[in-house]
Structure 1
């Protein structure tokens, strides 16, 4: 914003100046009675915490040293031994719709492992049998680790590279075992 320049200066007469001095005679400066504002630290978004002992139990299944899954093709496919061998094909054709999606973009390996364990615990708790894990392409670190972690978990029945609508080569569709709650006897 610019100030307007006055074309003429206002001159104060000597009697106006004397009148002002008489009116402020005896005035003293005010003492500061305000407390200076203190800035509050910014709020951080709180992540929804999963029961820690349950999460630690889920992490027990994931070993970084285990390299049991090797893919020779662009599509990843796995069916737990003893389960229906057609499950991977059904996942490929998107016969199962994921009830929950986990995006691992931007996470470290340890963070991704923890989030994946949390997802599997959440699916068990909510009785979800299908989930989508988006690991991304990037350098391929999570793309190699996630399948190896998943085949170690006993609740993972099958997984397959997601259809195009769910992320194609940057995501996996999982089919999970659901423990049915026991019916109360009457």
Structure 2
């Protein structure tokens, strides 16, 4: 039940109210045309074109128990043995532009590991040498896992915390080995 509003308290004079009532005389309510609301799009399904054998091959390099990388401070930096010692610094300065970006926000550890393995396989197949992996800051779970996974992969030459333009402490730029 609606409460009647006193026209004098709403700041409308009785004269204006009478004029309004005369102007809407003969108006009738519009009929409701039952248009159903548009359904929200469902979440997109994950790729189904990757067979379980390919998935197993891609995940072969990654072990969750291996913790060979320990971060010294907020910056992540690693260099494969036998590589140019200036590579991490060049990554830090942004001399390499990532050709592909992987965003791991909102993923579980298993999903993130699967996507990272897929990214490395994709880069190897497409001959891409630089990639950016955005793991986010959050609780730091993926920030600790991603470097440990990356140092296990034979195609990763070096990685470093991304420059500010690519996500700073929430992302890693990695340089990959291209094989002929």
TM above 0.5: yes
The answer for the alignment partner of 2:105 in structure 1 is 105
Q: CA deviation at 1:94?
A: 0.7
The answer for the alignment partner of 1:151 in structure 2 is 151
The answer for the alignment partner of 1:20 in structure 2 is none
**SS, match of residue 119 in structure 1:** helix
The answer for the alignment partner of 1:47 in structure 2 is 46
Change (3 A) 1:96 1:43: same
**SS, match of residue 146 in structure 1:** helix
* Residues 1:74 and 2:98 are matched in the alignment: no
Change (3 A) 1:170 1:3: closer
| CA contact 1:156–1:177 (8 Å) conserved in 2 | yes
* Residues 1:2 and 2:49 are matched in the alignment: no
What value does the CA root-mean-square deviation take over the aligned residues? Answer: 1.9
Q: CA deviation at 1:145?
A: 0.2
Structure 1 segment 167-182 matched on structure 2, within 5 A = 167-180=167-180
Unaligned runs of 5+ in 2: 1-27, 32-40
Unaligned runs of 5+ in 1: 5-41, 181-186
Higher Cα Rg: structure 1 or 2?
1
Query: Deviation digits for residues 134-179 of structure 1, max 9, x if unmatched?
Result: 0000000000000000000000000000000000000000000111
Change (3 A) 1:3 1:118: closer
Q: How many pairs are equivalent? A: 143
Change (3 A) 1:51 1:88: farther
The answer for the alignment partner of 1:120 in structure 2 is 120
**SS, match of residue 158 in structure 1:** strand
**SS, match of residue 118 in structure 2:** helix
| CA contact 1:50–1:118 (8 Å) conserved in 2 | no
After superposing on structure 2, the runs of 4+ consecutive aligned residues of structure 1 that deviate more than 4 Å are none
State the TM-score, normalized to the length of structure 1.
0.72
Looking at structure 2, the residues matched to 125 and 55 of structure 1 have their Cα atoms a distance apart, in angstroms, of: 14
Change (3 A) 1:96 1:56: same
Q: CA deviation at 1:109?
A: 0.1
